[in-house]
Amino acid sequence: MLSILTWLGVSNATELKDLLADSPPSSSSPAPSTSSPTVDIPVDTPDDPDISEGEAEEADLEPSTPTSDPTEEAFKAISAGDCLAVHDTGRGGTTSIDWSVDVPPDPVSCAGAQAQVQVTATDTACPTSHGKSYWSYRSATTGNTTKLCLTRIYHAAYCMLGQQSGYSISLGMMTAVDCRREPVPAPYNQIMHITGVYRAPAGADANNCRRVAGDQTRYWAYLVDDGATLLCTTIYQGG
């Protein structure tokens, strides 16, 4: 025993006990690791590195600017005083107007034979008496409505559509038609030939339409332009 104590470097049993108490057990194992493995989670970020995620969401919520409407722009390009080569085809009957084009064309000379209506005002209430009507367009893009107030321009030798019942003929005041065009759209049943456009005298009637003494032609007369103009017509007979 003494030799063992000497080999261990102690001189008695008490020192051996103290040596054993200070030494860690040789069979101890390292403490288990409590850390979790690292996992990379992808995060979506805006394409622009200068824009935060919150700013990107706000940008997505902003309403987009409506695209332009070429038809609306064409209507808005027309001004009071302009004259247009536009007429009612008669295909809408006597209760509605079917304009000869869908989009206002470029204005023409008001003194020329092509002018068939004159714009008297825009975007306001329009009168609808003999020879007066309107043309409106509501844009599905902007939701706005544009309106053109129109007054008919009549030319001698041109033709219009009429609806005859007995001796009475109601004239499609905004219509225009090829004098040789047949058949005519219902409910019209006559092509009326304009024989003259005159300043209306007081008490004007069909007798004021006679062009020469003894003229036996059957005329149908209409007062337009608030009674200021006498429009003389006959049933077109061909030729």
The domains of the chain are located at 70-152, 159-235
What is the pLDDT confidence band of residue 27, given thresholds at 50, 70 and 90?
very low
Comparing C-alpha atoms, which of 137, 132, 136 is closest to residue 150? 132
Taking all residues of the chain, what is their mean pLDDT, rounded to a whole number? 83
Q: Is the pLDDT of residue 26 over 60?
A: no
Q: Is the pLDDT of residue 8 over 80?
A: no
What is the pLDDT confidence band of residue 30, given thresholds at 50, 70 and 90?
very low
Provide the 10 A C-beta neighbour count for residue 13.
Answer: 10
Cβ 196 vs Cβ 233: under 8 Å: no
What is the pLDDT confidence band of residue 61, given thresholds at 50, 70 and 90?
low
Q: Is the pLDDT of residue 43 over 50?
A: no
Q: Is the pLDDT of residue 10 over 60?
A: no
Give the pLDDT of residue 129: 86
Q: Is the pLDDT of residue 66 over 90?
A: no
Give the pLDDT of residue 200: 97
Question: How much is the pTM?
Answer: 0.71
Considering only 4-13, 83-92, 131-140, which range has the smallest mean pLDDT? Answer: 4-13
From CA 233, how far away is CA 239, in angstroms rounded? Answer: 16
Mean pLDDT to the nearest integer, 138-144: 94
Q: Is the pLDDT of residue 165 over 60?
A: yes
Residue 170 CA from chain centroid, whole number: 35
Give the pLDDT of residue 195: 97
Residues forming beta bridges with residue 141, ordered by sequence position: none
Give 78-105 pLDDT, tens digit per residue.
999 999 999 999 999 999 999 999 999 9
Q: Which two tokens stand for residue 64?
A: 């987009």
Mean pLDDT to the nearest integer, 37-51: 50
Cβ 128 vs Cβ 161: under 8 Å: no
Give 171-217 pLDDT, tens digit per residue.
999 999 999 878 899 999 999 999 999 999 999 999 999 999 999 99
